[in-house]
Amino acid sequence: MFRALLLIALVPAVVYGNVGRACTNGRPQATNVNILGCTAPPCDLVRGQDVIAYIDFTTDRAVTSMTTVPTATALGITAPYPLPAEFADTCAWLEGSSCPLSANEDVTYRLTIPVLPIYPLVSLSIEIDIVDQAENSVSCFVVDARVVTAN
């Protein structure tokens, strides 16, 4: 019985590993970043498919609205990685809560990142900065990834 309970407790840790690392400039860090299908970086981003990530973070202040601002760095070049408008509205994708948020509120955000079929096959780092209505960082993380073709 104990082994069965231990297995049940450990399976999510094996399937979903925290793959995010801290951003620069002291921005608030996500408490946990789980990307479906990725247990350790670099995470594979499959051309023509969406990447689904669950980000846990705690607000350090009251927040009325949030936007997700991705930036990609590949081959020494850093550029915006704009999300479609429906995915950039962070508040629309909170699980079990909604905006406005109170200070010290624990939230889970479901992020969807489309990987277009035209993206080159490169290794990259993606910084995800979740900013509030004043464009101040609420939570930030970086994940190392690589664009791959579907098998």
pLDDT, one tens digit per residue, over 97-132 is 999 999 999 999 999 999 999 999 999 999 999 999
Cross-sheet strand order for the sheet of 32-35: 32-35, 50-58, 106-114, 94-95
Task: Tell the CATH topology of 28-148.
Answer: Immunoglobulin-like (2.60.40)
Is pLDDT of 4 > 50? no
Rounded to the nearest 5°, which phi and psi values hold at 33?
-130, 115
Helices (H), 16-133: 85-88
Domain extent listing, the chain: 28-148
Residue with tokens 């499959």: 46
pTM above 0.75, yes or no: yes
> What pLDDT does residue 17 have?
63
